[in-house]
Amino acid sequence: MHIAEGFLPPAHAIGWTVAAAPFVVHGARAVVREVRENPESTLLLGAAGAFTFVLSAIKLPSVTGSSSHPTGTGAGAILFRPPVMALLGTVVLLFQALLLAHGGLTTLGANAFSMAIVGPWAGYGAYRLTRGLGGGLLPGVFAGMAVADLATYVTTSLQLALAFPDASSGFAGAAAKFLGVFAITQIPLAIGEGLLGVLLFRVLTVNARPELERLGVLKS
């Protein structure tokens, strides 16, 4: 989902940066507030950030013969609500843009919008929906993690289609092409990410029960 440096026309690059900025600022304030009001959250916040850091560094092969990476943003969105991930996800993207030449500064806004904003919100929505329908914590985590991953890549496809519409079939045709690159490859990765999320939350429910109860993830 990393749109490469310089690969969005200037108007799109600026537009996505302007669109993402308020979410990231709001996310930064959410992180500061969480740490100030609940200092005991710092450990779990670190875990959520670290989880995204690891997963987005790993390129995994998929059944389509392509490789891609998971995003890991669902875990933090479920634990601390999505705004926190707007900051943590953007920090990861900035690290990769500056040190790894992966993604870019001109495309940071667009990449943050897909991975740090749409992904976490969509994943959080899927988690809440699963819980609301009577699903347990772990099915909710699976759904949330997998949807956060997939939604990120669908957003990237749509962003690219907006910037590079097809000469004959327009936005829809271009969207189909970019979704063809990203979406199917991403399905096994999303499932794998869902399973990893379940593993993480199984550890947390045993070892961080007081925090999960305070955050409302587990009933006390």
Which chain residues interact with another protein by CB under 8 A?
Answer: 1-7, 9-10, 43-44, 46-47, 49-63, 65-68, 95-102, 104-106, 153, 156, 160, 164-167, 174, 177-178, 181-182, 185-186, 188, 191-192, 195-196, 198-199, 202-204, 206-208
Residue (117 or 175) nearer to another protein, CB: 175
Provide the minimum distance between the beta carbon of 80 and another protein in the complex, in angstroms, as a whole number: 14
Residue (22 or 46) nearer to another protein, CB: 46
Residue (26 or 202) nearer to another protein, CB: 202
CB atoms within 10 A of CB 170: 11
Residue (132 or 136) nearer to another protein, CB: 136
Provide the minimum distance between the beta carbon of 136 and another protein in the complex, in angstroms, as a whole number: 13
Residue (86 or 204) nearer to another protein, CB: 204
Of 146, 156, 23, which is closest to residue 82 (Cα–Cα)? Answer: 23
DSSP 70-135: ----HHHHHHH-HHHHHHHHHHHHHHHHHHS--S-STTHHHHHIIIIIIHHHHHHHHHHHHHHTT-
Of 151, 150, 127, 149, which is closest to residue 139 (Cα–Cα)? Answer: 127
Three-state helix/strand/coil letters over 2-54: CCCCCCCCHHHHHHHHHHHHHHHHHHHHHHHHHHHHCHHHHHHHHHHHHHHHH
Provide the minimum distance between the beta carbon of 74 and another protein in the complex, in angstroms, as a whole number: 15
Provide the minimum distance between the beta carbon of 69 and another protein in the complex, in angstroms, as a whole number: 8
3-state secondary structure of 220: coil
Provide the minimum distance between the beta carbon of 84 and another protein in the complex, in angstroms, as a whole number: 15
